Amino acid sequence: MKKIKLFSALALTLALAACDDFDLPNPPGQTNTDPEAYFENSNLVMAPNSQAISLTAANEANQYVTVANITTFENFPEGYTLEVDMEVGNDGTFSKTTTLSTVIDGDAVTVNPDLLNGAIQSVITKKPGTYDVNSRLAAYAVRGNTRLRLGGVNNYYLTEALNVTTFDATKVIEDAYYLVPCALDGTPNMGAAIQMNNTAGSDVSAYDNPEFAIKIESPAPDGYFFKIAPQSAISAGSAASLYGANPAADGMSGKLSTDYGVGHISITGDVLITVNMEEDSYSVNYAFEVLYPFSGSTAADKLMLLYTTNYINYSGVAAINNQWFLGAKPDKKAEPLFRQSEEEEAVVSEDGLVMTGLLTNDPSAAQIKTPVRGNHLYWVDVNLVQLTYSLSAIETLSVIGSANGWSNEPENVVDLTPSKDLKIWTGTDIHVGPEFKLNANHAWEIDFGGTKVADTEGEHVYNITMKGGNLEVEEGNYDITVDFSVQPYVLTLKKK
């Protein structure tokens, strides 16, 4: 780091007076009790680099890139070193930033092109290109362990954007990928290719989220044979650059490469195939619209179901009596069925309300037992990729909110009363508002909030979800009904 020694005798006196431990050559006339306040007036002026910056050109020339030039720098104390940090922001608000160290070379403030490229990837995008990069500089006077910011803790220099062209991609990731069905011998049917969906949304760059997925039907009895095509192969109508698959031992995942043969999905029915084109990998998962938590003699059309938005995580409330298993169809004998895996014993929490474990589709496996004996309502979470489940008993359901000081204490709340089948929970003449939620077991591990969907003079209707937002209503007394038999779940308040 180059040390800049432009300073005045007055500046030196004031700076050293800030520290009582120094033996001064000339006793100061006053003590500066705020070192940062003194450095406000160091007259540092920097001009931005208005030229376009090519990180590739700088890297090939083995040079740092100049982001600013020091044009004025006065009244800086001897013995201190000027250091400048560069912050790169996601946009002009700098709501997300990363900080780089700079090197002062003469009057130039420079940065390592590799570090600047990494910063852009971290907070803006990983997609190669030319961007207006929002940046700002913070300057410090440094001596030993002392680091004083010029102008105070919120002072920045140069909040202008820099025009930066990032490195070319080390691995090209295209904007779109397709699932191409193949014959048993590997011959692709390019005309039947299906575009896969970016799992983060269509407006996200594939470099920032290289994961694509599509739901398909894998036919019985042979399953589904496939290859993966980038957009360029589809546009060219060429099968030469398709990715084949090398499956792992589980048959549900593997690696992708243009050197591999045709991939095979051996399970049948609705499946979700997901590819990660940065890692050249794929995974296969069941893709059921809902899961049926079968328990006892309850018919499928009477069950409270588990729902999903991604065909991986399924959740919902369910009435379960002592033991249960999961089905993918409204038929408790239709495969696949998921039961308790023998590979790992289920774990029950200390309070006896929560149980976690592993699932298996082995038809000989035993049903899953519940942590609480008898018929209870549970919040159920299932991950069909990892084949895990969590079962949390709901013993009480209460209205908690500003009307009772958000107190969970049993004496401060009114518990709702469940119907015999546990689908409907009601309460009469309960003081509610202006903000409230439902929670279970007088705790916040399980709570429900959401949004208002209907509002009349005497009735307010809400769609509620697990961990939804606070609900709002005019403060007063209401009859309350919670209906878990519909999706989304519905909460209704009727004014008394």
pLDDT digits (tens, 9 = 90+) for 176-215: 999 999 998 889 999 999 999 998 888 899 999 999 999 9
Residue with tokens 């878990």: 484
In 255-398, alpha helices (H) = none
Could you give the CA distance from residue 266 to residue 336 in angstroms, rounded to a whole number? 13
Q: Is 302 helix (H, G, I), strand (E, B) or coil?
A: helix
pLDDT tens for residues 73-91? 887 877 889 999 999 999 9
Residue 35, token pair as written in the block: 């070192």
Alpha-carbon gap, residue 163 to 217, rounded angstroms: 47
Residue 340 C-beta-side C-alpha neighbours within 13 Å: 16
Contact by Cβ (8 Å): 319, 298: yes
Overall average pLDDT of the 143-157 stretch: 88
**Dist. CA 28–CA 17, nearest whole Å:** 6
pLDDT at residue 12 above 80? no
Burial class (CB in 10 A: 0-12, 13-18, 19+), 29: exposed
**What pLDDT does 11 receive?**
35
Distances (CA, A) of 403 to 434, 435, 450, 477: 7, 8, 18, 10
Q: What is the pLDDT of residue 160?
A: 86
420 has a pLDDT exceeding 60: yes
Domain boundaries, the chain: 9-165, 177-286, 290-394, 397-495
Identical fold between 177-286 and 290-394: yes
Q: How would residue 148 be classed by pLDDT, with cut points 50, 70 and 90?
A: confident
Q: What is the mean pLDDT of the chain?
A: 90
Rounded CA-CA distance 38/76 in Å is: 10
Q: Which percentage of the chain shows pLDDT scores above 70? A: 92
Say which range, 22-26, 360-364, 389-393, 416-420, has the weakest mean pLDDT: 22-26
Positions of E strands within 4-80: 45-48, 53-54, 65-72
Q: What is the mean pLDDT of residues 87-110?
A: 96
Name the CATH topology of 9-165. Immunoglobulin-like (2.60.40)
| pLDDT, average across residues 349-363 | 95
What pLDDT is attached to residue 19? Answer: 38
Residue 483 confidence (pLDDT) above 80:
yes
Mean pLDDT for 341-358 is 96
| Domain 290-394 = CATH 2.40.50 | no
Which range (109-123, 142-156, 186-200, 350-364) has the least confidence? 142-156
Whether 24 has a pLDDT exceeding 60, the answer reads no
Fold of the CATH domain 177-286 = Immunoglobulin-like (2.60.40)
pTM for the model: 0.67
